[in-house]
Each structure stands twice: as C-alpha cells, then as structure tokens.
Structure 1
C-alpha cells in the first residue's frame, strides 16, 4: 500500500515545475512526512497521557497542526473541502505562515537536543519548492494516508524511504555523497558490534545510514527492558552533519527507523578545534563514511595537528580524538590513503598505527559506490594500543558493479565469515607491522596470494600488435564513412 503511495507522490513532484530531480523529491517528501509524523507522534503521546490521568502539552500550536491546516476532517473522517486550503491559498499559508512559525522554534527551544529545536532547524533550512498549490494539496492528501503508529508501519515506511535515498544517490550530481550501500554498512556494524550501554557517533552523518543500522543491530541484540529502550532512544546515538538537505534526511531516516528525537546536530564538524575535545565528549563507537576529495580552508586546517586540505584526513584525525580508550571505529576512506607519500598521509598513517590497533582493512572493488569511480577501503581500528598485525580482505564479487549490479549482502558474506578467524585465504592475508617501511608507513592492500600475469612478449611483438590494432581501427572508420555517404 505504502509503496504505491510513494510512487504517486513522486508522480506529483515530477509534474510540478518546482521539482527537477530525485534530490528535490526526497527533500519535499521529507518535510511533509515529518509534519505528518509529528502529528501522529503528538496524538500518541496525548492519548497515553489521558490514559494515565496526566496532561500532555502539544509542541505545535493549534492552527499549525496537521489536522487544522493540512487535513481538516469532517465528522466521518474525510477531508473537509469546505475549509481545507488549496491552490494559491495553501501555498501562501505554507510559505508565509507555516514555515516561518516552525522555523521560530529554533530560537525558543531550550536545548539543541529537543524535538522543538529539530523542528526549528529543519524549517529554517528548507523551503517549499512546489509551485502549484494544487500539487501540494495532492501530495498532502496522499501523505495523510500514511501512518506512523505501529512498528510494522514504521518498518515499511523506513524501507521505502531508504529506497528514495538510494535513488537520490543513483541520480548523480551530488546525490551519491548521501548514500553508502546498506549491505556495506550492515557488515561494518557487524564487525564493530556496538553493545547496549555504548555510545555511537558519526561526525559526517549524511542520511544517517550508519546510525540507523546501529540502532537496528542494538535493538535486536536482546530483549530490551524499559531503561535500555530509553537509553537507545535518548543517549546512545549522536551525529553531526554540515549540509542542510542531508541533515533533514538523516533526522527523518532515524525517526522512521524508530528513534523519536534523533541527536543529530546541524554543524560543520571540522570547524571544532581538536584541542577542545574533553573526556566527556568521547564515545565508544564511531561508524562513518566521511566525504573525501573535498578541500578545506586553511582556517579549518588550523584545528588539526596534521595540516591537510583533504577532508577525509581531517575527519580521521577527529575520529581518533573522539574515541575513548578501547573505543572501536569502522570508517570508509579512499584506498590511496594507504599509499600516498605526501607528509600528511605518512604522518596520519603513523599516528593511526601507533595510537590505535588497526586490526582489519577491507579493500573494496571498483563500483562499490554508485556514481563514483573512486576505490575505497574500510579501516577497522581500536584506540588505546598500537598495531602489531593487520588482517586484510580483498573483496572480489566476480562481476562489475554499478546501478544495475549494486553490492548485495551475499557479496560480503565470505568477508564476515573469514573475519571471525582472521585466517589467510585467496582473498585475505596478514601483514606484520615489523615489515612495514618506517619512513613511508606504506600499507598498500596488495594481495600476496594473487599471481600476476607476466607479459613475455618482446618489444617487437607488442609494437606489431599495436600496429595491427591501428590498422583494424582505420578499416572500421573507412567502413563507417562509406555507410554515412
């Protein structure tokens, strides 16, 4: 049922002149979904309070509640067309009254972790892009049919929302930066194995995929008592995200996975000086895929002991600093980090090996991240003791990966099974740190079990083959010219 509703909503966006891409679709779906969720959430809290003989004070003022402006109902529960806004009247209310009112929550909220503040943050950053008030009415009517009251309903909605995030990543432009393949995230979470009572952090949260999967993993790890459930809800998961759209998507994604008021802060993580990090700020588990290839300004670089403009390297320093002693981290980074010979790369590898136990490296194949040709690795490390031996695994899925052949959970099955024993195999091997060059700290993932094919041809034979290929190409061009004439 919900799948059809999401498809119909996208059809409305496609026809509206204000929405031009999958990024617009998910952005606009997010703010409307959020308001419907908020109404269901408050209704549930109010009902529970009444049953307990208590009172519940709603967050949203009456005239801005869903059932007042979005979907006022008749006595039989249907849309009251006599008072429901539509067309230009609806657009004017949403753009000039609703958004400014909700954005004001950012100033009036008591602290950044409250749901009031999240409301203010979201509606300070977004705007309604639908240009037709009739299109907006159509979307609201369809969203109104979606319910957030049961776990089954939330599970279906979260799955569909994940699909929208995936489609956004596939759409190109900058959408891919928000989407890490879910099978990869699940495998990273399984290896790191966060436990109830530990804190989990992602300083480059994006769509909050790592935090959502960690929540699923931890909530299913055992039968939770009331205190443990509240601990997962309120004091386990923390994230930071710089970009407005990603921030909103991340909050909505966590809500749909079951976290009622996600602790994600809208901020530039790298603007924080590492020297200011205190023990109370540190966490047990870090799971992340920080942006790579970005270039940070010199004033941002001043916050870090190892100066570099490469965004991912600054994030790696941040993560090491943010971990408690004994804390664990699984982080995706470009594979060139293992071999680059610039001063920052060498210094950072040295710090990683001396301050942490880099116990595993997962070498991912080309095409693991749709929309980018960048090869990546996953670093798994524990803070508090130096590295003596690294276990490498080179993932070989036996096919070219891309939009039509994305990574799946079966692709990573052997990795996780082999990781349990950390044995050597055709795809895995061990590296003793004693054999690493102490000038370069080169950690290149070079599989010693792979036999390289040696080209035994003479230079003359190679030149002959090149000339033969050139001749064939010339003949093909002549045939094409003949057809065109």
Structure 2
C-alpha cells in the first residue's frame, strides 16, 4: 500500500465522524493529534512523550475509558516540557463525542501499512493528507491553497541554496519551506555533501515562518517535524509588531492571505512606511523590507490583481518596491487554480538591491491567463503547464524569446501608467460573455450536492414533525 492509498483510507475515515457533526478541517486537526503519536512510535522517537500517553496507551483501551483517556491526554500533552509536543497540543480539544467513533479511527490507523509509509516518507504522507483536505471544496481549506505544481515551479526558479535563510511570513501549512528543503536536499545528497555544522543549520535555522491561525500553525509544526525540519514557526500576525523582527532573509516565498484587516484597521507596526488596510500590500511592504540588501536576496510572492492596480497608497508601494528591488518578472496566473471561483492572481519575482533607488529598469510579464484551459478538478494544473514560462524566465537573453505571452516593459513605460502593473495580458480570443465561467460539470455536481443536503435536512424536519404529531396523538 502506497502513501496515496493510505491518504485515501485516512480521508475516508472522516465518514465515521459525520454523526458527530465534524467538519473536514476539524477532522484533519483531530487526525494530527492522533497521527503525531502514531508517527512518533513509527520513527522510534517517543522519548518526549510521557509513557502513559504514548501510542500503545490508545490501542490498549476501549469505549468510554479510551475516550476519557484521550481527552486527558490532549490536556496534559499541552503542558509537557518538550517544546514541539507542547506546541502541537496547546489548547487541544476533541470534537469526537462518540467513543466508538474514536476507537474506530484509532484501530483503523493502527491497521494501516506503516512499513510502506515509512519507506515513502511520513512527511510526504502527511502533506498528501493536507493536499487532499485543500482539494475538497467542501472542506473550505483550499479556498486560497497554493497548488503544489505552482510551489514547485517557484522553488525551482528561486533556486534556494545551502546556507541561505528562507522565510514564509504567511506560512499556512509550511508548503513553500518544505519544498525549499526538498530542493536543497536534492542538491546535497540529503545533506550528506554538507559538513555537520552546515547540515544542522539546514535543519534548525534555514527555514522559518509565521502563521496567524492556531489550528493551521499546528498543522505547519507537524508538517515540518515529519520532514525533520526544526526551524522556528512563529504563531502570530506578521503585520503586528512581531513581524518587525523578521528580517535579513536571503529568500522569501509566500502566498499571503487575501482581503483587508478585520474592521479595516491599520497594521500595528511603525516600520511600514505606507499605511493601508489592504493585507497584501502590507505583506508586500514587509517582504521586500525583510530581504537582505545585498543584490542577491530574492522573493516570489503570490498576489491578487488588485495589488497590481490599486491607486493611491498602492501606487506608492509599487514605486517603492521598484526602487528598492529589481522587479524583473511578473507571472499572470490562470483563473481556477485556486478553489475560490474567479480569483485572479499573479506571482511577483524580485531581488532586493544594494541601494534603495532605481533598482528596476525592465519588467518582463508572462501571460498564463488569457486563452488558457479552464482549470479545476477535471483539468488539474500540472508543472508541464509552466514549461513555456520557465523557458522564458531562464533564457540567457530574454529579448530573443519567441512567445506572444512574454512581454517587456521599461520602468518608464510603467511610470506613464501611474505605476500600474496591470500589464502584459494578450488579446483574448474567447467571447467576453463566457470568460471565467466555472466548469459546467463541476457546477452541476455542486448543485446536486447542495440539493442532497437540503433534501436530507427536510427529511429530518419531517421526521421531527411526525414525532411531534405522534406525541400529540398519545
């Protein structure tokens, strides 16, 4: 049994919990509590876990006794001395009310082929579970999930090196940093080409991040741990004062959350020059200021279209970015690759300059959006879709690339457009009235699913009304 089969079996266990009213995201968090104990046993690494709460303590109990033990375990593991265990279980509570459901999940997990999982990598198994959660539109977790093919292409082009400090200020489940670690391991024979000191730097210091949402932070910690990465992942808001200490990085790769600050308030930092409630513009300011000013530090940031054209403060921030950095490439991403319909996004690639003025002279834009397939469940995005962009990006002489999607703009061209970066889209051959319509089959499937839920709710109401009527007759 391979990891994909194990992921599917773990995912199917969610059906056991339907009667407990547990959401997909709650299920993945619950699985994290249980899988952590199982995976520590599989890695023969249970020393930091009190003996009475190790994996075997769950398999040796049944029913109500098991449920009571599990709830106490969650409380007590949040108070242990081990920092990593403590972070995984801080404020942990269970959403499983039915003892038989908890026992079913623990027994099913114990029966899986863990030898194969160890061979393929426990970290890859856990990432597969997170990706499955994100790909299920019903879970809601994938609304702005960064597709793995996009992460892998960004990492390949940014090309992080051993000894560099990498950061993701909106870490999510730590996907960018884990892909960066995999990239460096592939270059260094799993760190065997490095000295002991260099290998320890890679494991403990090279990869860092910050995540605001507690449950997502927990998933990031688990993901990093299973990939043998121990760099700091802060719990908190990068746009708060905490973020002012996150700086001097060689590489930043990130997909900041979309939207505005709650309540429209400004970020609580005094080191950001331009005040705005737009989260992405504030993250953009944070990112280019967090890079080392050495001409080599670089970033790739996923941002929605509004960051490219918002006037006023937005234009000032873009001008400041192009002063402090060489904004050399913009990738206009296709719609449909994120699970929120119609979200239009881009990747900005830039290097921090040695000086603070006039670092951008030329911006190259690749249009992967216009006249592209409608991506979704039935037409998934793959790395192959990026081949032409990668070829253009890596060309020794970009001006000789023969591709209509690849266009050049000078800094003066952009100034004439009031520093708008909403540029580089080619002529749309499709009928405008049909642009960005969702896949009809996916829409029909969603409609059927909603009708089935509505029917189920109505049947519940009918059953309750019948019960009431029966009570009156008695």
Structure-2 residue corresponding to 1:61: 50
**Cα distance in 2, alignment partners of residues 348 and 214 from structure 1:** 28
Deviation for aligned residue 1:146? 5.4
Check conservation: 1:388, 1:432, Cα contact below 8 A.
yes
- Counterpart CA distance in 2 for 1:374 and 1:454 is 19
| Bigger CA radius of gyration | 1
Does the Cα contact within 8 Å between 2:58 and 2:70 map onto a contact in 1? no
Q: Please state if 1:351 is matched with 2:320.
A: yes
2:127 is the counterpart of 1:153: no
How do residues 402-421 of structure 1 correspond to structure 2 at under 5 angstroms?
402-421=376-395
Aligned pair count reads 413
1:197 shift after superposition:
0.5
* Alpha carbons 2:241, 2:268 under 8 Å: kept: no
Cα 1:154/1:130, change in 2 over 3 Å: farther
Contact 1:368/1:407 (<8 A) preserved: yes
1:240 offset after TM fit, Å?
A: 0.7
Give the CA deviation at 1:388.
0.6
1:91: which partner in 2? 67
The structure 1 residue matched to 2:41, chosen from 35, 39, 64, is 39
In the alignment, structure 1 residue 389 sits paired with structure 2 residue 362: yes
Give the CA deviation at 1:231: 2.4
Mapping 1:435-446, distance limit 5 Å: 435-437=413-415, 440-446=418-424
Post-superposition Cα deviations, 1:325-379, rounded to whole Å, max 9, x if no partner, equal 23100000012211122x2201110110000000110001111212332100100
Whether contact under 8 Å (2:170, 2:255) holds in the other structure is yes
Corresponding residue for residue 51 of structure 1: none
2:162 is equivalent to residue 230 of structure 1: no
Any residues of structure 2 matched to 1:192-207 within 5 Å, and which?
A: 192-207=158-173
Q: In the alignment, is residue 324 of structure 1 matched against residue 292 of structure 2?
A: yes
Task: Measure how far apart 1:298 and its partner are.
Answer: 2.6
Q: Is it true that 1:252 corresponds to 2:209 in the alignment?
A: no
The reply to whether residue 101 of structure 1 matches residue 76 of structure 2 is yes
Q: 1:308 aligns to what?
A: 276
Whole-Å separation in 2 of the counterparts to 1:93 and 1:160: 25
What corresponds to 1:27 in structure 2? 29
User: 1:178–1:206: 8 Å Cα contact kept in structure 2?
Assistant: no
| C-alpha displacement of 1:155 | 2.9
Q: Is the deviation greater in 157-166 or in 369-378?
A: 157-166
SS in 1 for 2:121: helix
Q: Which runs of 5+ in 1 are unaligned?
A: 46-57, 72-83, 109-115, 456-485
Following superposition, the deviation at residue 187 of structure 1 comes to: 0.8
In structure 2, list runs of 5 or more residues that go unmatched.
433-474
Tell me which moved more, 148-157 or 180-189: 148-157
Q: Which runs of 4 or more aligned residues in structure 1 lie more than 6 Å from their structure 2 counterparts after TM superposition?
A: 147-151, 451-455
- Is the counterpart of residue 216 in structure 1 residue 182 in structure 2? yes
The alignment's TM-score, normalised by the length of structure 2, stands at 0.80
**1:128 Cα deviation from its structure 2 partner:** 1.6
Question: Which shows bigger deviation, 324-333 or 161-170?
Answer: 161-170
Question: Quick check: 2:137–2:143 contact (8 Å CA) kept in 1?
Answer: no
Pair 1:270-2:239 in alignment: yes
* SS in structure 1 at match of 2:404: coil
- 2:4–2:125 contact (8 Å) kept in structure 1: no
Equivalent residue, structure 1, for 2:249: 283
